[in-house]
Amino acid sequence: MERSTYKRIVLKLSGEALAGDQGFGIDPEMIQSIAEQVKELHELDVEIAIIVGGGNIWRGMAGSAKGMDRATADYMGMLATVMNSLALQDSLENIDVQTRVQTSIEMRQVAEPYIRRKAIRHLEKKRVVIFAGGTGNPYFSTDTTAALRAAEIEADVILMAKNNVDGVYDADPSVDENAKKYETLTYLDILKDGLAVMDSTASSLCMDNNIPLIVFSIAEKGNIKRVVKGEEIGTTIRGQS
Ligand code: UDP
């Protein structure tokens, strides 16, 4: 029988992963493909929490760069993550994967509020839990949300699925053909060298709480399952080397 290396994972999907090739909004085919990949994991008996970004709809920094109040723009970004989370829940439930969405900002008619112990209970019952609304605070990101929730629910690993790159490189591989992919890194390397993996708040939180992170590409179907089974694709980041 196929087995997962991990008992409990946090899967971080950037908003762009849901946009597919169109680059914005939600691509129904892409989200269906992600849902099917999550279902495959579910069959490996691993507990799955998902954090979805909102960059395919709205980014707070972009709004604030155009003169909008930063906190207001960030709240709009958090609402965007709720839209993505509901879309993903819908796709998962269409293929019979039981899912609960919990929001960090209360909107009880739409989803459950975030309650840590309840989330853990859902996971134990093998329901996929989607954490929506980021941390609920402006000036943070959904990468930081992934780090925070992973620490709270004691996840074994964060899987960071990217749709345009298959790991961490020493230069931008879409610009520099000599860019080298790292197999392993430490959080200190990321902070010291300013590598564009996740923001420094998220990296520090992962480092301080010793949560490993794997960055990999979701563009190739079946990759999430490969990572969960322990195949070394992408780049692994740890607290110490
Ligand atoms: N956001 C926020 N606080 C959080 C999480 C997200 O203010 O805890 C806002 C922020 O404006 C951000 C937007 O939500 O730009 C979308 O999230 P993010 O940029 O992390 O999404 P991704 O890049 O993963 O698509």
10-residue mean pLDDT profile of the chain (241 residues): values are 89 92 90 95 94 94 91 97 98 97 97 98 98 98 98 97 90 90 94 90 95 93 93 91 62
Q: Whose CA is nearest to atom 6 of ligand 1?
A: 141
144 is in an annotated binding site: no
Note whether 41 and 2 are within 8 A (CB): no
State CA 241 to chain mean position distance: 23
SS3 content of the chain, % helix, strand, coil (to 5): 40, 20, 40
Q: Please state whether beta strands 157-162 and 213-217 pair in parallel, antiparallel, or not at all (unpaired).
A: parallel
The CB density around residue 120, as the number of other CB atoms within 10 Å, is 17
Q: Among 10, 15, 99, 85, which residue's Cα sits nearest to residue 46?
A: 10
Q: Among 166, 183, 182, 237, which residue's Cα sits nearest to residue 205?
A: 237
The CB density around residue 214, as the number of other CB atoms within 10 Å, is 20
What pLDDT does residue 43 have?
87
What pLDDT does residue 20 have?
82
Q: State if residue 12 touches ligand 1 by the CB under 6 angstroms criterion.
A: no
Ligand 1 nearest atom to the CA of residue 55, by list position: 25
What pLDDT does residue 241 have?
62
54 is in an annotated binding site: yes
Please report the sign of the dihedral spanned by the C-alpha atoms of residue 200, residue 201, residue 202, residue 204. Answer: positive
Best residue among 59, 76, 200 to mutate for probing ligand 1's pocket (most ligand atoms within 8 Å of CB) is: 59
Best residue among 16, 78, 84 to mutate for probing ligand 1's pocket (most ligand atoms within 8 Å of CB) is: 78
- Could you tell me the maximum CA-CA distance found in the chain, to the nearest angstrom? 55
Q: Give the Å distance between the CA of 173 and the centre of ligand 1.
A: 24
What pLDDT does residue 208 have?
95
The CB density around residue 186, as the number of other CB atoms within 10 Å, is 15
Task: Determine the 3-state secondary structure of 104 from DSSP.
Answer: coil
Residue ranges and CATH numbers for the domains of the chain are: 8-238 (3.40.1160.10)
The H or E element spanning position 131 is strand 128-132
* pTM higher than 0.85: yes
Residue 45 corresponds to which amino acid? Answer: D
